[in-house]
Amino acid sequence: MTIPKGRFVVFDRVYGIHRGVVIADFAWWMGNEDLVREWCLDHGIRTQQQGMVITFDDDESFTMFMLRWS
């Protein structure tokens, strides 16, 4: 398995999770983790984070996140 080049690997409806992203760019994540969390809180983006995996409760939150950060 190869990970495509880019910042995120997107997954959809897996194991009861609505939608999410796996952060594929470790260096980007280390430099922006706090900014991403703050932005999500400020904009009411409903997410759950476990390590470098972010899951979203709805399509709107996912779309807003991707428009801002990808």
* pLDDT tier, 12 (very low <50, low <70, confident <90, very high otherwise): confident
Distances (CA, A) of 66 to 19, 62, 63: 12, 6, 5
Q: Which helix (H) or strand (E) holds 55?
A: strand 53-56
Mean pLDDT of the chain: 85
pTM for the whole structure: 0.79
What confidence tens digit (pLDDT) does each residue in 18-40 have? Answer: 788 999 998 899 999 999 999 98
pLDDT band per the 50, 70, 90 thresholds, residue 68: very high
Bridge partner residues of 49 (DSSP): 54
Strand order in the sheet with 8-14: 8-14, 17-23, 53-56, 47-50
Judge whether residue 3 has pLDDT over 90. Answer: no
